[in-house]
Structure 1
């Protein structure tokens, strides 16, 4: 069951970890490459701030972004800013998201995200939690997939396995960390590929953060996953 109030607390806690870590950087570090191809750390920080405002738009019934070009232009505009400006923007945009999440609302309503994707409003705080946690890892400043909260890893693995379920380009695949198991890809019309690894390695592969290092594969080759 989705608990948006609990997820808002998790978003707050994750944001505080992020702000503390980013606060130890300097302006030169902001300009250095992140782990995301083509993005500096400043791009990641700018995206996180603008994403918070975009999700406020979603919760308040407005388009998430005016269009893709505006989204990209805003990130490019904000990426070169000094650390102190980035921190202030992160903090203030996060507060706006938390304030919007705390307002009385019908959390069972359907909201629209990017590219026509819809979801229940109650899942929006979890979506923001995903942004904060994974992009903290993307900064490459010492926070690793192995450092993510265990409940977050389990839920995001659930979410991504479900996202790829039924995808025609992904073969029937069973994922397991030795304790839990998930299925994804096409409906089983033959032998399944079984992918085994640690929770962090499985999530890293599903989320496009790791190429499959640390995973073992039986019954075929490691499936190529579509971009998120």
Structure 2
């Protein structure tokens, strides 16, 4: 069962770690490329702030974004701002998300995210946690996938494996970190491909942050995954 209160606390902890790392940067560093193609570090911080406000919209019953074009334009608008403005925006938007979470009284209701994706409200805090942890890595400011909490790595690996489960374009694949296993791709009792690696390498491949060259693949080639 999803524990939204637990996940809200993890969001706060992850946000503080992100803010600490970002505060050590300077304006010149913000203008440098992040690990996301076409985005500077300023773009990453702008997205983190605007995502918090978007999830507030969802929690309060409004559309997550008015449109994809407005979402992208807001990030482009905010990306060039000075560091101090970014830090304040990330902190203030995080506080708005925390307040919206504290005000919820129906965590079992269905909510709609981008592109028609639906979920229950109780899973939104974990989705926010994922945004912060993965984009902290994308920032290129010291955090690697090996540094994120083990609980997050396991849960996000399971979430992404489930996301691709039943996808017609992904061959039936069993994932293993040497201790745990997950199935993804086309559903079958006997997956044709086995992919084994460290927790960080598995997560990096599933999340589109690593090419998967460090993974051991048996039964075929490493599957190409659809974009998230």
Please indicate, yes or no, whether the TM-score normalized by the shorter chain is above 0.5: yes
Counterpart in the other structure of 1:193: 193
Would you say how many aligned residue pairs link Structure 1 and Structure 2?
A: 228
Alignment of 1:105-144 (within 5 A): 105-144=105-144
Counterpart in the other structure of 2:57: 57
Counterpart in the other structure of 2:34: 34
Alignment of 1:132-211 (within 5 A): 132-188=132-188, 192-211=192-211
Unaligned runs of 5+ in 1: none
Alignment of 1:40-51 (within 5 A): 40-51=40-51
Whole-angstrom CA distance in 2 between matches of 1:171 and 1:182: 14
Offset of residue 187 of structure 1: 1.6
Q: Secondary structure of the residue that 2:201 maps to in structure 1? A: helix
Q: Can you list the C-alpha shifts for 1:3-22, whole angstroms capped at 9, x where unaligned? A: 00000000000000000010
Q: Secondary structure of the residue that 2:25 maps to in structure 1? A: coil
Q: TM-score, structure 2 length as denominator?
A: 0.99
Offset of residue 105 of structure 1: 1.6
The answer as to whether partners of 2:174 and 2:191 remain within 8 angstroms in 1 is no
Offset of residue 188 of structure 1: 2.4
Whole-angstrom CA distance in 2 between matches of 1:221 and 1:205: 14
Whole-angstrom CA distance in 2 between matches of 1:79 and 1:216: 38
1:221 matches 2:215: no
Unaligned runs of 5+ in 2: none
Runs of 4+ in 1 over 6 A off after TM superposition: none
Offset of residue 203 of structure 1: 0.2
The answer as to whether partners of 1:4 and 1:126 remain within 8 angstroms in 2 is yes
Offset of residue 31 of structure 1: 0.4
Residues 46/190 of structure 1: CA separation in 2 closer, same or farther (3 Å cut): same
